[in-house]
Amino acid sequence: MMKLLSQRLLGPVTLVLLALTVWLGIWVTPPDRIQGNLARLVYVHPAVAWVALYVSFGTATIASGLYLWRRTRSMVMDRVAHCAMEVSAVFIILTLITGSIWGRPTWGVWWAWDARLTSTAILGVFALAYLALRRANDDVEVRARRSAVFALLAAINVPIIHFSVQWWKTLHQNATVFTSTRTLLIHGIMAWTLLISFVAFTLLFFWLLRARYRLEEARDEEVARGLEEALAERQREGVR
């Protein structure tokens, strides 16, 4: 009962928090002292990047690892990895778009071959390559195994993205919320709005993942049912 209730509440709660983020971010929080209203993108871009790099890609990576481990190997893990990677690809694209919108007035260009931007774009290519790899083989087990291995290899790029602003001299700014000494940079209503945005977009990921998983599960059941009907038809033809 509680599980069913939580599933029903996930969508409405996500929409309420997204709407609250928009309302607080546009009409309640003050403009930044330096960037003015442009800084309101801080309530969108970091949260979208958080979902793209850590939540969704991380979910796909963990599910892939669980599939490769014999004790937890199941098609459920393969479906979760596949669906999470699809959602991750969408959020990576949104990360690059919102980053470019923020970068144009700040850096003077829509795109720069900055270490963080470039490594994030490469991760997006990896996500699309993963999805293409799944279409390259009709054998379910081979496809799942190869996809899982590829996801684990692609995940190596995530820490590179995370530490790129520290390892190289980049246009991209350092940490938005905390300094290297964990000193909070955002306070008051701005900090609360940022927190709400992170929760909202995280819940949005899980809502999208659940919806996409249901579609994938229904598709697999339809394929299995079609195969059974085809085999039954062949058997009837053999009897004749």
Predicted confidence (pLDDT) per residue in 152-188, tens digit = 999 999 999 888 877 777 666 665 554 455 556 677 8
Range of the domain at 141: 15-21+37-174+183-211
DSSP reduced 3-state for 193? helix
Domain count, the chain: 1
**Which of 55-59, 191-195, 233-237: highest mean pLDDT?**
55-59
Q: Under a CB-based contact definition with an 8 Å cutoff, are residues 137 and 146 in contact?
A: yes
Is 30 a domain residue? no
Whole-number pLDDT of residue 40: 85
Is 104 a domain residue? yes
95-148 confidence digits (pLDDT tens) = 999 988 888 887 778 878 888 888 999 999 999 999 999 988 778 889 999 999
Average pLDDT value over all residues in the chain: 84
Give this prediction's pTM. Answer: 0.85
Is 222 a domain residue? no
DSSP reduced 3-state for 78? helix
Other Cβ atoms less than 10 A from the Cβ of 133: the count is 15
Q: How far apart are CA 68 and CA 56, in angstroms?
A: 19
Is 233 a domain residue? no
Whole-number pLDDT of residue 148: 95
Other Cβ atoms less than 10 A from the Cβ of 73: the count is 16
Is 7 a domain residue? no
Residue 207 pLDDT class (50, 70, 90 cuts): very high
Is 221 a domain residue? no
Q: How far apart are CA 119 and CA 48, in angstroms?
A: 16
Whole-number pLDDT of residue 1: 40
Is 64 a domain residue? yes
Is 50 a domain residue? yes
pLDDT top residue among 186 and 56: 56
5-21 confidence digits (pLDDT tens) = 456 788 899 999 999 99
